[in-house]
Amino acid sequence: MLLERKSYLAFVMLGMIAPVNGLALPYLIGAYNLSLSWAGLLFFAGSLGYITASATYPLLQRLLAVRQLLAVGAVLTAGGLLVLPLMPNWWLVLVASYVVGMGSSVIDVGFNALIADLESERAKPAMNWLHFAFSIGALAGPIVMSRLALWTGQWMVMFWLGTVLFILFTIIWLQTQTVVEDTETSEGSHSQAPSVYSHWGFWLLFAAMFVYCGAETALAGWITTYLASEMSVSVDTAAFGLSLLWGGLTVGRALGGKFSNYLDTKIMLLLLFGGSAISTAVVVAVPNVWSAFITIFLTGFFFSVIFPALMLHGAAMFPKSASIISGGLITSAGLGALVMPALLGFVAEKASLAVGILIVAGLLLVSVGISAALPTERSLTPQQGQTARM
């Protein structure tokens, strides 16, 4: 249980720093005299760092044991957050954001892989509680950081809070000598990578993760604007919709942690993708903002367990390749988060945000078909997983 507890702590911290760029962006725009297009590169640089680390994680694991690699990720995250608001020009800020993205991604991929590689009865609830911990951090982060900035009068403390958190985590993580036992030899993990990537099942999981994370990021980024512009409510009222999206996601993950052992992951994916497709489409069909709030909450609820279910299903399909699956799926998540918010903005400019949201709903519906093509979890024995890698 010690591994799980430390992974939950790490994910609460990841959740807390997740909104820091958005919260600090107005201050950064003023400090560096930026246009909105240049300011947007902050998110791009962080996402690029995330994708770089997740795509290369199996190679990084050849150089360092998991315990040391996760400590390096925490140090990179802490250091990047420390120097980012102190940089003399915008290009160096982007470099620091890239470093933060890399460090955060190492932590994300590493703990997802470690949890996914546990025995099934232990892994299922732990994976859901892991992402529940992230949701708790994401809910608490904006409140804590905004209060700190107000009390101190310094916007830079929003970044430095993350520095303190991840320095503390590094110390806590390294104090325990026997928390992690590498379940994959670096040479074996590397040799399995080509066979995993050549298997059709991996690419089904990759596509489903791309759609899920793209849809979640796109809706989180645009739902406030949609409610304010197309339902004619104040921005303050519209912003409540974003809180409800995260609230539904948090509630769903809490329930997932309790009941995940009772459902096959394929059945969960069918239900969750189907439910999220319907609720996302209904958002643009309801007559008033209060009805929209209910459907937004339901969308977050259906989104909640998709990420851990995809990760667990990948681990069941490819036993002994947890870090490869974790790195590949988190790379897919990063690509979705890069592409789909921009796609939604493009469609909104050419047509409307309502049309863009309906396209997102359609892609979620496609993911129902993708999930249907996956084997059932109970049909995957270790021997079948080994065959899948050949």
Mean pLDDT per segment of 10 residues, for the chain of length 390 residues? 89 91 85 84 88 90 89 97 96 96 94 86 86 88 87 94 96 73 46 75 96 92 86 82 87 81 86 97 93 96 94 88 88 90 86 93 97 81 40
The whole-angstrom separation of Cα 212 and Cα 339 is 12
Which pLDDT score, from 0 to 100, does residue 378 have? 64
Which pLDDT score, from 0 to 100, does residue 390 have? 27
Straight-line distance from the first to the last Cα atom of the chain, in angstroms, rounded to the nearest whole number:
33
Q: Which helix (H) or strand (E) holds 294?
A: helix 289-303
CB of 340 closer than 8 Å to CB of 214? yes
Structure tokens, 60? 């990084």
The closest alpha carbon to 388, from 299, 317, 301, belongs to 317
pTM of the model: 0.81
CB of 49 closer than 8 Å to CB of 100? yes
Distances (CA, A) of 6 to 27, 100, 195, 249, 321: 33, 20, 32, 22, 22
Structure tokens, 390? 């050949």
What is the DSSP annotation of 365-383?
A: HHHHHHHHTSPPGGG--HH
Which pLDDT score, from 0 to 100, does residue 185 have? 41
Which pLDDT score, from 0 to 100, does residue 180 have? 55
The whole-angstrom separation of Cα 278 and Cα 296 is 11
The closest alpha carbon to 12, from 148, 152, 169, 154, belongs to 169
Which pLDDT score, from 0 to 100, does residue 156 have? 95
Which pLDDT score, from 0 to 100, does residue 377 have? 66
The whole-angstrom separation of Cα 67 and Cα 113 is 12
